[in-house]
Homo-oligomer: A and B are copies of this chain.
């Protein structure tokens, strides 16, 4: 049945509500986007009292389904001004699911300057004084909570940039190894800060299991599903061995690896930071080459990166971050990149936005190109402490571009463009342009088909077929993002015919419904349209669905490619 916790920060109350009919059986992105669309005035100030921050575990979270342990967080984004959903691993999603919490809505705003810790149990939320952790960064918050409650406590927290409401601030979630996974994109940490919520502790004592209406159907489907994951070369081989960073060499080869703030599409020193090099380095030093972001993950694409002495530096060291620092900022030493990644986890800055904005800061002359030591110092001492330059940077890529009057600023709807050049991988450009959440590769990951030849092949350098590809992937991803599943299930789902029906069967079996694949994808399409309608009501138009102008007049080597879609061509994405 489940319930919704409605947490009001104006009067410090928590109401435990039944799930209304229109939200029944939703989860993840479908849940957060439906609540935000229904309850948040689209034109409100993202940091004001009328915005709401919503957490929701996925439809399958807490079940034995492989890779289903992710939480969605949603709100109106202070970075993009659009609706926003951001998914994270960690332990909180499964805790929520087992306690029957389908969503937690944080609304209102205290009128004084007190900071709070929300303490979540199966019975509701209490409002605790957070002055002991106010001003601390994320790892210190986790340490303090572990000390207070023991290591089983769930922790969701923001660093100082989140407290200070900087638009690149993320929300950090403790993972099974006491490290950090993040609701990274869109500045949701600033929304949490605007509510004066420093952290959330989750004590799932007395939680039950997630009920499954038809256990036999579930088991049968789960087996097919897991087999598909293990059989597919991407989820069964590439990701488990090399992690997401396997993409460095692949994108370099394709000429789609944005280098030195999107000046080039390939990079001479690519192998210094590639997934292969990273794997061998970790293996040689005695770190862990495999690691899951949540219990039940069978891909284990994360890792624990250690230094020469075998001492832990970071985990969840993803392709996007390695690309952003190692290639786009030209920081050639992988150890430097790893330390910066850990610093971003600690201070609570989205590691994609963080890496993209540092490259723009390098273009502005704030940091020398490739200077990893200075970048690390800037993260901890400037952004982490919210100095003036730290505020310019901590507000994201567009903020840096504006502060220094630059035009080569890779953002869509103010959000930094990730690790694939849209001029030479054109499908992903369509996704960046039209995603309801600003530039976001995960919103419709055409790299699968443009580069990895998963789900067929669409030539990345040709305009043909890209709009349809992006449209279909955006619809499908919206559905997948609602399940609590890791996005990588898309690879087997695109190539192995049994996988998607098995996923849908697991949902149907859990909920005791007769959900079909068509209905499931239809749900994705309808949520995507709901998000688009929110953005339209907030004042966004087709003219906002455009890439930065410099992609249109600055060709990128090695293919000498330009971004050459017309507005009308791009807008066809919405023709469904």
What is the chain B residue whose CB lies nearest that of A366?
Answer: B388
Cβ-defined contact, B407 with A164, below 8 A = no
Give Cα A399–Cα B406 distance, bound, in whole angstroms: 15
Cβ-defined contact, A405 with B193, below 8 A = yes
Cβ-defined contact, A405 with B47, below 8 A = yes
Give Cα A166–Cα B539 distance, bound, in whole angstroms: 25
Given the known inter-chain contacts A402-B167, A546-B43, please indicate yes or no for A391 contacting B391, CB distance below 8 A. Answer: no
Give Cα A388–Cα B399 distance, bound, in whole angstroms: 12
Main secondary structure of the interface of A (DSSP, over half): loop
Write out the residue numbers on chain B whose beta carbons fall within 8 Å of the beta carbon of A140: none
Which of A78, A539, A540 is most buried by chain B, counting CB atoms within 10 A of its CB?
Answer: A539
Write out the residue numbers on chain B whose beta carbons fall within 8 Å of the beta carbon of A399: 402-403
Q: Does A194 contact B (CB under 8 A)?
A: yes
CB distance from A545 to the nearest CB of B (A): 9
Q: Does A538 contact B (CB under 8 A)?
A: yes
Cβ-defined contact, A43 with B549, below 8 A = yes
Q: Does A208 contact B (CB under 8 A)?
A: no
Give Cα A574–Cα B543 distance, bound, in whole angstroms: 21
Cβ-defined contact, B395 with A402, below 8 A = yes
Interface string of A398-418 (1 = CB under 8 A from B): 010011111100000000000
Which of A78, A404, A550 is most buried by chain B, counting CB atoms within 10 A of its CB?
Answer: A404
What is the chain B residue whose CB lies nearest that of A44?
Answer: B549
Given the known inter-chain contacts A50-B549, A549-B48, please indicate yes or no for A395 contacting B403, CB distance below 8 A. Answer: yes
Q: Does A387 contact B (CB under 8 A)?
A: yes
Cβ-defined contact, A407 with B546, below 8 A = no
Number of interface residues, chain A, beta carbon within 8 A:
42
Write out the residue numbers on chain B whose beta carbons fall within 8 Å of the beta carbon of A194: 405, 407
Q: Does A392 contact B (CB under 8 A)?
A: yes
Cβ-defined contact, B45 with A549, below 8 A = yes
Interface string of A43-66 (1 = CB under 8 A from B): 111011110000000000000000
Interface string of A73-115 (1 = CB under 8 A from B): 0000010000000000000000000000000000000000000
Q: Does A177 contact B (CB under 8 A)?
A: no
CB distance from A203 to the nearest CB of B (A): 30
Given the known inter-chain contacts A403-B392, A405-B165, A407-B47, please indicate yes or no for A543 contacting B550, CB distance below 8 A. Answer: no
What is the chain B residue whose CB lies nearest that of A567?
Answer: B43
CB distance from A236 to the nearest CB of B (A): 44
Give Cα A42–Cα B541 distance, bound, in whole angstroms: 13
Q: Does A555 contact B (CB under 8 A)?
A: no
Interface string of A15-48 (1 = CB under 8 A from B): 0000000000000000000000000001111011
CB distance from A463 to the nearest CB of B (A): 19
Q: Does A537 contact B (CB under 8 A)?
A: yes
Q: Does A190 contact B (CB under 8 A)?
A: yes
Write out the residue numbers on chain B whose beta carbons fall within 8 Å of the beta carbon of A44: 549
Write out the residue numbers on chain B whose beta carbons fall within 8 Å of the beta carbon of A537: 543
Write out the residue numbers on chain B whose beta carbons fall within 8 Å of the beta carbon of A404: 164-165, 391
Cβ-defined contact, B190 with A405, below 8 A = yes
11 more contacts with CB within 8 A, not counting A48-B407, A190-B405, are: A43-B546, A48-B549, A50-B549, A78-B405, A164-B405, A165-B404, A166-B405, A194-B405, A388-B389, A392-B392, A539-B542
A/B interface sample: 14 pairs, CB < 8 A: A43-B543, A43-B546, A44-B549, A45-B549, A47-B406, A48-B550, A49-B553, A78-B405, A388-B403, A391-B392, A392-B392, A392-B403, A537-B543, A539-B544
- Please provide the 5 A-B residue pairs with the shortest distance between their CB atoms, ordered closest to farther: A165-B405, A539-B543, A388-B388, A388-B389, A391-B403
